[in-house]
Amino acid sequence: MPACDVSPECEKYSMAESVGNDIEEMDSDDHEASKKKDWEKHIEHARKATHVYQLDAASCSSDSGKSVCRGFTEDAEKGKVYDFPDFVECVLTSRKELTALELCEFRHWVTRKRAMNKKCVLPKLLSTVEAKFEKGSHLLYYRTDFDKDMESCDFLQPKFDIKRLPEVNRVPRGILKEKKDAIVKKLCPMMLKNRQTFWESLPVSESMDLIDDEDDPYEEEEQFCDERRENR
């Protein structure tokens, strides 16, 4: 059988086709490698995000108003939180915005119980999943189930005049003298001299309504919040 001559054009085309096939294979390999790399990055990002979430979930608790971020915990463990300004600065590291309330922003509100009756059934905290207040309204809007419509009730006492607010606080409430003496004696020696002023200047009071460690009125509420978080 006579040999078949191959023209330079055919040889060039054959080489180009071979190179093209190699390039396609390389592109395919690169594409697969790129996809694999993207997935690896995605998985690594998800792993890191999950890790960070677990750290935050383990160190933060926001329901009872005691949320503590990881950075705040680290600063506290390093002994950087000596007084209230330090506390504010540490909390700022965990939030975008923070407003530290001044003494004049508190008023002498009177604590009273609202009598229960059939006409106005006040919702219980345990059964409330959402609450809303509107400016200019005396009503509390709430719902006991996210799938239900909001209900409303007038939670203020009938004799309360919303146009006459209680007087503004002028003097700090203070703490028991025994507590202040214990702080100054035990904690202040561990602080720098310039950080002891905050504690040494704390006002004292012998008022009977001051919270006692043995009978904390907020203890029951904190236990309720803890139980509610566990049931979620």
Q: Is 13 in a helix, a strand, or coil?
A: helix
Domain range holding 176?
A: 170-232
Question: Per the domain annotation, does 4 fall within a domain?
Answer: no
Q: Which residues contact 133 (CB under 8 A, 6 or more apart)?
A: 140, 141
pLDDT at 120: 66
Question: Per the domain annotation, does 103 fall within a domain?
Answer: no
Dihedral, CA of residue 152, residue 156, residue 158 and residue 160, to nearest 10: -150
Q: Could you count the other beta carbons within 10 Å of the beta carbon of residue 142?
A: 19
pLDDT, tens digit, 9 for 90 and up, residues 113-163: 666 666 667 788 888 999 999 988 888 899 999 999 999 888 777 777 777
Look at residue 110 and tell me whether its pLDDT is greater than 60. Answer: yes
Question: Per the domain annotation, does 64 fall within a domain?
Answer: no
Task: Write the CA distances from 12 to 26, 27, 177, 178, integer angstroms.
Answer: 21, 22, 100, 99
pLDDT, tens digit, 9 for 90 and up, residues 195-206: 888 889 888 887
Question: Per the domain annotation, does 89 fall within a domain?
Answer: no
Mean pLDDT of the chain: 67
pLDDT at 212: 53
Q: Could you count the other beta carbons within 10 Å of the beta carbon of residue 151?
A: 13
pLDDT, tens digit, 9 for 90 and up, residues 174-187: 888 888 898 899 88
Question: Per the domain annotation, does 229 fall within a domain?
Answer: yes
pLDDT, tens digit, 9 for 90 and up, residues 36-87: 555 555 445 444 433 333 334 344 444 434 444 555 566 655 667 888 888 8
The backbone torsions φ and ψ at residue 204, rounded to the nearest 5 degrees and listed phi first, read -115, 155
Considering the domain architecture, whether residues 151 and 175 belong to the same structural domain is answered as no
Question: Per the domain annotation, does 39 fall within a domain?
Answer: yes
Q: Model pTM?
A: 0.40
Q: What pairs with residue 41 in β-bridges?
A: none
61: tokens are 């608790």
Domain end marker among 148, 165, 182:
165
